[in-house]
Amino acid sequence: MLLAESISFTGRHTSLVDPTSLQVQRSEVMLVVAEPQISRTALSLLLSGRMKPDSGSIRWKGSTSLPKLRAASALVDSPEINAPEQHLKIRDLVAEDLSLVPEPIWRKRGIEAWLEMHGFAPYADDWIDSVEPLIRLEIMARLSEEYRQVQLAVFDSPDRHGIEDASWLELLEELAGTRRQLAVVAVVSRVPDCWDGAVAYLGADNLADPLHRAEPAEPEHTPDTEQSQATPVAQADTTEASGTATEPDTTGNRPAQEHSDKTTALPLPEAPDQAIQPLREAAPEADPDPAATSLPAPDDTTDVKDPT
């Protein structure tokens, strides 16, 4: 698990990363919204262990060691950091990245075999800038998987290429769903409309919300609201507790009001469309016993039997 607590970074002239807190689990994809591009790149470098925060702490599996985080993470397609240069061919890009994989020479895959295995052989001799952006992004994502120790993939602005949102999101979810259970972070400029997963925001304490979303909290109920909501229930209980009912008068006259030693029965409406008369209109002419008609106070400990 990646846990960042109030990490920040200040550039030469201004703050690039305001205090930000977030956490990402294995097999999870999280989008982190940040602006501008330089802040997205700085945050990507911090989350992948390539740069030390000025304040706060960042942990990988409980350890604050930046070398451990750097060894377990891959920074993918970061502008002016490790994004592929346009003068390279796909074959050259693959050869360069495979040569950096810390494996014995006899365990490394050959260039042609790697391209064939991942279905990129038709693009081997194409220039980087002539290949569709989604293909380029997928090639860099697959190359990051060649590092056996990588368990965290940090994508810097995958939405900047004009790729359809659903396409690059599907690629990220595919990486997180492999047997290696990668934790995937994408630092983006906005949240795609089709995304309903975890979201964090630059300069926010995203740990406060378990779903990593900055949604407004539900309004709290005031005592007046709770009392007004409880009134209809109390009135219904009074009617049920009486145990007395009156038959509606089909002639249109109101039924005679009956009295009991406990409460007063309320009249029923003469038709479904007729609204129930307010209680004060149905009150008997004679003053009833206050002790029988009043409801107990909220702190009354009197045991009232359930009519059912």
Architecture of domain 2-84+149-208: 3-Layer(aba) Sandwich (3.40)
Instruction: Report the pLDDT value the prediction gives residue 36, as an integer from 0 to 100.
Output: 96
What is the Cα gyration radius of the chain? 34
Burial of 44 (0-12, 13-18, 19+ CB in 10 A): buried
Helix (H/G/I), strand (E/B), else coil: 29:
strand
Q: With pLDDT > 90 as the criterion, what percentage of the chain qualifies?
A: 61
What does the pLDDT read at residue 258?
43
For the cut 90, the answer to whether the pLDDT of residue 151 exceeds it is: yes
Quote the CA–CA distance of 297 and 187 in Å, as a whole number. Answer: 56
Beta strands per DSSP E along the chain: 2-10, 15-24, 29-33, 55-60, 73-76, 152-156, 183-188, 198-201
Residue 80 pLDDT: 92
Binned at pLDDT 50, 70 and 90, residue 87 comes out as: confident
Q: Where are the domains of the chain?
A: 2-84+149-208
Query: What are the backbone angles phi and psi of residue 167, rounded to the nearest 5°?
Result: -75, -50
Question: Which pTM value belongs to this model?
Answer: 0.68
The pLDDT tens digits for 92-141 are 999 999 999 888 888 888 999 999 999 999 999 999 999 999 999 999 99
Nearest residue to 144 via CA among 72, 83, 76: 76
Q: Is the pLDDT of residue 175 over 60?
A: yes
Per-residue pLDDT tens over the stretch 214-273: 443 344 444 444 444 444 443 444 444 444 444 444 444 444 444 444 444 445 545 444
